[in-house]
């Protein structure tokens, strides 16, 4: 079996205190968010904010989760990935929210029917959790995505969702820019910066980063709080 790409492995030199703080903070909020999601409230909020179109998409989302409840985990990944990639438009935050960097809740994302890579990744993550995929198997991964051909030196910030069938396995990558779910080893265009879930923060081996984990995770906490208010 080929060894995992080193940038996708958990790096032991991550600052211990930062990881503990991240884990504790996110775990507390996640516990409140996912203890008892009120899907009827979520649908009602969608109708109030976004009208019938927004509510209809939430209804379709609920039906999708019900229909996929019996599937295996790999099948759930494809089921959820296809739902969002086929129904939602990829737009930047300036176009959708008139802000440089805004992380939308799944409800806001569906209400606008458009969003950027963070919004796709968050919506898929939350949905898979609701469908019973263990949180330990899911991480949101910040990457630098190469633009152009194999020899290009241009890249831009991007987020994908990673699924780890086992802790030592390479992740399967759910990406809004590519319809198929592929193993990380086949995504040479992606260079991971850091990843996170409620169990901790994983940082690449680089000494410098193009993204600030503290700032990014602050936005993540804000998303979780808004989700709690919406009924998640």
pLDDT in tens, 148-164: 777 788 899 999 999 99
Q: What does the pLDDT look like over 221-231, one tens digit per residue?
A: 899 889 999 99
Rounded percentage of the chain residues whose pLDDT exceeds 90: 63
Evaluate if residue 183 carries a pLDDT over 70: yes
Angle at 201 between CA 6 and CA 228, to 5 degrees: 140
Average pLDDT over every residue of 34-48: 89
Contact 146, 155 (CB under 8 A): yes
How confident is the model at residue 13, as a pLDDT? 44
CA 209 to chain centre: 20
Residue 172 has pLDDT above 70, yes or no: yes
pLDDT confidence bin for 168, thresholds 50/70/90 = confident
91-132 pLDDT, tens digit per residue, is: 999 999 999 999 999 999 999 999 999 999 999 999 999 999
CATH of 6-230, one of 2.60.120.680, 3.10.620.30, 3.90.1640.10, 1.20.1260.10: 3.10.620.30
Report pTM: 0.82
Does 197 score more than 70 pLDDT? yes
The closest of 111, 139, 115 to 195, measured between CA atoms, is 139
Residue 51 reports pLDDT greater than 70: yes
Query: Which region among 156-170, 185-199, 206-220 has the lowest average model confidence (pLDDT)?
Result: 206-220
pLDDT at 46 over 80: yes
Under 8 Å between Cβ of 213 and 206: no
The domains of the chain are located at 6-230
**What is the C-alpha to C-alpha distance for residues 105 and 73, in angstroms, rounded to an integer?**
23
pLDDT of res. 23: 52
At residue 196, the pLDDT reads: 85
The percentage of the chain sitting over the pLDDT mark of 70, rounded to a whole number, equals: 78
More confident residue, 210 or 182: 182
Residue 143's Cβ-count burial label (10 Å; 0-12, 13-18, 19+) is buried
How many angstroms separate the CA atoms of 230 and 211, rounded?
A: 28
Average pLDDT, the chain: 84
pLDDT at 7: 46
* pLDDT the model gives residue 60: 98
In this predicted structure, what is the pLDDT of residue 147?
Answer: 86
């Amino acid at each position: 079996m080929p060894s995992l790409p080193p940038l996708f492995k958990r790096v032991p030199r991550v600052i211990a205190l930062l990881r503990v703080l991240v884990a504790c903070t996110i775990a507390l909020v996640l516990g409140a968010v996912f203890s008892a999601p009120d899907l009827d409230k979520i649908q009602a909020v969608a109708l109030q904010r976004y009208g019938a179109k927004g509510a209809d998409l939430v209804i379709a989302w609920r039906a999708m989760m019900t229909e996929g409840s019996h599937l295996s985990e790999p099948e759930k990944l494809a089921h959820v990935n296809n739902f969002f990639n086929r129904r939602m438009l990829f737009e930047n935050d300036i176009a959708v929210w008139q802000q440089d960097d805004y992380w939308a809740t799944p409800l806001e994302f569906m209400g606008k029917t458009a969003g950027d890579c963070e919004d796709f990744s968050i919506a898929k993550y939350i949905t898979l959790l609701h469908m019973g995929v263990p949180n330990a198997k899911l991480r949101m991964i910040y990457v630098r995505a190469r633009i152009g051909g194999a020899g290009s030196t241009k890249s831009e910030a991007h987020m994908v969702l990673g699924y780890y069938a086992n802790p030592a396995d390479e992740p399967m990558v759910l990406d809004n820019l590519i319809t198929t779910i592929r193993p990380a080893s086949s995504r040479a265009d992606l260079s991971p910066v850091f990843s996170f879930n409620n169990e901790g923060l994983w940082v690449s081996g680089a000494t410098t980063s193009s993204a600030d984990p503290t700032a990014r995770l602050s936005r993540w906490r804000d998303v979780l709080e808004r989700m709690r208010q919406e009924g998640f």
